[in-house]
Amino acid sequence: MKNILVTGGAGFIGSNFILYMLKNHRDIRLVNLDLLTYAGNLENLRSVEGDGRHIFVQGDIGAQALVAELFEKYDIDSVVHFAAESHVDRSIEDPGVFAQTNVLGTLNLLGCARAAWENADGSWREGVKFIQVGTDEVYGSLGATGFFTEETPLDPHSPYSASKAAADLFVAAWHDTYGLPACITRCSNNYGPYQFPEKLIPLMIHNACNRQALPVYGDGLNVRDWLYVEDHCRAIDLVLQKGTPGEVYNVGGHNERTNITIVREIIALVHDKVDPAVDERLIRYVADRKGHDRRYGIDPEKIGRELGWRPLVPFEKGIEMTVDWYLQNADWLRDVTSGAYLDYYDKMYSGR
């Protein structure tokens, strides 16, 4: 049985990964370490309650004693590292938190992995692997043409992307310096079930369903490459199984859309499925985000060529599946949009 430490497994991508792995593999045990900050929610994993292959531990990836104990207690042989502060607006307001979690937390995981897996002669225990789940934002901004490849220089433009770039570089350094068997994945924007509604797609679904303003940064023409979250989970699984240590794998959907196009597609779906009164009059253009990258686009040719991965969910199907999920899980959406989130939402968007 493979014993995998999944960090941030109660968050959006992490919980989808846990559900995917438990569905598709029998010979695994997943130790889910999550601090349960505002974006982590055990409701995401209710369907696997009672499954002995999933063990939840509430805790901080930066807690050295706790992480070392988990490696020893559960004989961890793989790490899939999702845990991160990930919202750009929050990083602009409080960059120190992002450095603490994304950089120092990653350093702690690397140190504990080395202590648990490195043999006395400097070799590494057979079969171990560390997967750093990164983001295309570390590459900066593209022009009107071209795509990010694994050779694109890192050029982060926000405190969030800078912290993720730093974490990636530490993982690469652990491989180069100590020989840690590690891979880095860098994905485009994910969407799908269980995403916390501070991000574009769930925020627009939530607001449209409640006939609230739909805030769009700047002119709405910033371009992102969108990837359905289960396609991303399949990619990480393949990298875990077959990825070459020391390699970076870009994961993208070839689904580039402007932000305003996404908003209009959501309006149309909510209009047709729920409320004919929802239309484009809800759109509100707001002051642009500081350091807002204009375009991202991923070239996933390498992971396709080497590991046989390709996205299976076209955007038109994925966005409708996503809207349907949020409509069918109104209680989940209502619960996570209470408390601290509403305070933050009011601060960010009210009066603009």
Q: Which residues are catalytic?
A: 136-137, 160
Assign 87 to helix, strand or coil: coil
C-alpha span between 259 and 222 (Å, rounded): 6
Q: Which of 333, 327, 193 is nearest to 272 (CA)?
A: 327
Q: What are phi and psi of 64, to 5 degrees?
A: -60, -45
Q: Contact at 8 Å (CB) between 103 and 166?
A: yes
> String of b and e for 114-124 (b: at least 16 CB within 10 Å)?
bebbbeeeeeb
C-alpha span between 171 and 180 (Å, rounded): 8
C-alpha span between 44 and 14 (Å, rounded): 10
C-alpha span between 154 and 166 (Å, rounded): 10
> String of b and e for 12-48 (b: at least 16 CB within 10 Å)?
bbbbbbbbbbbeeeeebbbbbbbbebebbbeebbeeb
Assign 216 to helix, strand or coil: strand
C-alpha span between 283 and 308 (Å, rounded): 40
C-alpha span between 82 and 8 (Å, rounded): 5
C-alpha span between 167 and 209 (Å, rounded): 37
Radius of gyration of the chain (CA): 20
Q: Contact at 8 Å (CB) between 190 and 137?
A: no
Question: Encoding tokens for residue 88?
Answer: 């750009």
Q: Contact at 8 Å (CB) between 133 and 13?
A: yes
C-alpha span between 296 and 224 (Å, rounded): 5
